[in-house]
Amino acid sequence: MEKIRIAFFDAKDYDRQSFEQQNADDRFDIRFYDTLLTPDTASLAEGCQAVCAFVNDNIGPEVIDELVKRGISLVALRCAGYNNVDIQYAFERVHVVRVPAYSPYAVAEHAMALLLTSVRRIHKAFIRTRDFNFSLGGLMGFDLHGKTVGVVGTGKIGRVFINICRGFGMNVIAYDKFPAPDSGIQYVSLDEVWQNSDIISFHCPLTDENRHMVNAESIARMKKGVVLINTSRGGLIDSEALVEGIKSRHIGAACLDVYEEEANVFFHDFSGHIVEDDTLARLISMPNVIVTSHQAFLTREALGNIASTTLDNIQTFLSQGYSDNEICYKCPKLSTCVQKHERKCF
């Protein structure tokens, strides 16, 4: 049987390891490329049946046209979010599948790790003791027990984070456009989350509707000293407004695993260079801001699940003609769509 050829973009060492392990039976011919998927690099997919892309690959009209020109009918995202795909333009041109869930524990635990590191000053203590400085000045934190955490988005990751917070004795309130029935979660309006939360953590996809949901206006409605955690998508937060909120001392701390202009920065080593993004440079320089480079997903378990699901998505789609994990398109029939993923979307 002829192997399925996959053009794999934005490949990192950990990607290669996890996908090669899942491809131990040699079902696929995976061609790993370090470069991002762009209109100029789409030609690398020539002769392949599918393209595998990640969060910073911009799958817009130009890229889609280039892929279609080369006979590519399937884009397999190795992530849950798909805000980097022009879904409406993809309709009737290329099918897109994703990994809807790989390890909610990985992301939720990273969110809590960021929070604990921030409020207990663990990152500062680590640097200090490396210099044999064991003083405690400037390391005072606060108890999480009894604090109110607002969780925006109560999908699998959000609910795992809620359970972790409850384990710390925190009071949890949440907002979701589509509340989970019979979940025992106390849902409130988004404005109540802003007003009543000591800590706010974001666990929702990025859409046109919620882009920059954290802005100057919403920050003004938040408690003074609020701690913000974002392990979802950078575009949920207006970075300039965040900087101003921190400078004015209204925001007490920010824990960021994502950043809205991360595409040309994250996953790369700029330690010997000057970063040209002034907003990111200002955020990193602030003592009450922690930035990690979109690594919340980076656990052995999550990487294994991502590789397994991605390859299964490709195999299933190309052999059966459809996949349970195909993204629903913003097609003209959306209002009457009864797609149950028992066939192709188009």
- The CA distance from 45 to 196, in Å, is 50
Helix then strand count (H, E) for the chain reads: 11, 11
Rounded to the nearest angstrom, the gap between the alpha carbon of residue 308 and the centroid of all alpha carbons in its chain is 19
Secondary-structure breakdown of the chain: helix, strand, coil percentages, each rounded to the nearest 5:
35, 15, 50
Is 233 catalytic? The answer is yes
Helix (H, G, I), strand (E, B) or coil at 125: helix
Which residues in the chain belong to E strands, given as ranges?
4-8, 28-32, 50-53, 74-77, 95-97, 148-152, 171-175, 199-202, 226-230, 251-256, 289-291
- The CA distance from 69 to 233, in Å, is 31
Is 262 catalytic? The answer is yes
What are 89's two structure tokens?
């333009």
Task: Give me the catalytic one of 294, 301, 326, 343.
Answer: 294
* 45 contact partners, CB below 8 Å, separation of at least 6: 7, 51, 67, 70, 72
Task: Give me the catalytic one of 203, 233, 260, 326.
Answer: 233
Is 221 catalytic? The answer is no
- The CA distance from 125 to 121, in Å, is 6
What are 281's two structure tokens?
């440079």
Angle at 50 between CA 47 and CA 55, to 5 degrees: 125
What are 320's two structure tokens?
């059966």
- The CA distance from 182 to 160, in Å, is 16
Task: Give me the catalytic one of 66, 109, 262, 326.
Answer: 262
Q: Are 7 and 44 in contact (CB under 8 A)?
A: yes
What are 331's two structure tokens?
């097609």
Could you list the active site residues? 233, 262, 294
